[in-house]
Amino acid sequence: MAQINKLRLMAKVARMYYQFNMSQSEIANRLCLSQATVSRLLRNAKEEGLVRIFLSVPRGVNIEIEEELIHKYNLKNAIVVDCESPDEVLIQREIGSAAAFYFESVIKNNDVVGISSWSETLLALVEAMHQVPGKTGIQVVQILGSIGNPSAEIHANRLIGRLSSLLNATPWFLPAPAIVGSESALRVLLEDPYVQQTMQLFDQITIALVGIGSIKPSKLLTLSGNIFSLEEQDSLIKCGAVGDILLRFFDINGKLVKTPFSNKVVSMNLEQLRRVRLSIGVAGGDRKYQAILGALRGNWINVLVTDKHTAERLAHA
């Protein structure tokens, strides 16, 4: 008899909570119970099988593989997108759109947003974004030098310009090439007050949006002129490099690759990136697989947005 009475109360509480959408405090007041008792009865209702939750996951939502990536690579989040075609441009568009939605959902007042300069996928992200109303105090910072071939430079500046407009944010440009000719040239450049005022913001960044590059540079980066020579690319391969973030190269296990030209890059460094609250890597496609794997193993990003095919390979790596 005691058991049936307990089950009756359990069922009553569960029905009020799940069918009538009453809060636990409302149920407690209605039935003259403590809120702790209501919480315990709801938990027991699940354990006894009175309540069974069925989740109908829509096609194109890849929760299980996202959870696999989160646990395997110690991520804060993963977004896996179905892509109908292996075409790189279409993949960029699809994952850029998904990344835009995620970014819009996590941006907060007074965030300092860092964004890379020469990423076609980030360009797709920004193009897919909507105006974000009601946010204040946001700053957007270029974290990779943005000066290059004028026909390509317009894309780098469009990234920060459009993003700042959509967020009603203050933009901070990094008026420097991504790669300089020598270490001495870098030292001179770092003394420029406009370069300094932007780079001083790197440690304040709360959200970073970065692409993940393969050894072979993208079309946009190639067009910008901010690329290593073929000899330097061969040197990177010999050193075991598989990819880069912000032109900081790493091997398949995520270990930074040191080369004679490592000190010619004008960008946020990866140790700074690792300290950012949300470091969002947006990349996909077969060409980027090894680079993405290295970035994850090195813990250089804590959020990944990618395509399903790449995600499945990463889950089984």
pLDDT at 233: 76
The pairing of beta strand 241-245 with beta strand 213-214: antiparallel
Secondary structure (DSSP) of 137-167: S-EEEE-B--B--HHHHHHHHHHHHHHHHHH
To which H or E segment does residue 79 belong?
Answer: strand 77-81
Question: Minimal CA–CA distance to 80: which of 293, 314, 305, 313?
Answer: 305
Residue 153 has pLDDT above 70, yes or no: no
Classified as helix, coil or strand, 5 is: helix
Q: pLDDT digits over 248-305, tens only?
A: 999 999 999 987 678 889 999 999 999 999 999 999 999 999 999 999 999 999 999 9
> What is the reported pLDDT for 145?
87
Band (93; pLDDT cuts 50, 70, 90): very high
* Over residues 164-176, mean pLDDT: 95
Round to whole Å and give the CA distance between 138 and 142: 14
What pLDDT score does 148 carry? 61
Q: Which of 52-66, 122-136, 295-309 is predicted least confidently?
A: 52-66
Using the predicted structure, report yes or no on whether residue 2 has a pLDDT greater than 70: no
Domains of the chain as residue ranges with CATH? 2-47 (1.10.10.60), 63-315 (3.40.50.1360)
Out of 21-35, 48-62, 136-150, 222-236, the most confident range is 21-35
Look up tokens 């109303």; give the residue.
Answer: 133
pLDDT tens per residue, range 228-252: 667 777 888 888 999 999 999 999 9
CB 215 within 8 A of CB 237: yes
Q: What is the pLDDT of residues 58-88, one digit of tens each?
A: 777 888 999 999 999 999 999 999 988 889 9
Q: How confident is the model at residue 310 (pLDDT cuts 50, 70, 90)?
A: very high
Which residues 6+ apart lie within 8 Å of 159 measured at CB? 115, 117, 119, 122, 123, 126
Query: Rounded to two decimals, what is the model's pTM?
Result: 0.84
**pLDDT average, residue stretch 98-112:** 95
* SS3 per residue for 22-60: CCHHHHHHHHCCCHHHHHHHHHHHHHCCCCCCCCCCCCC
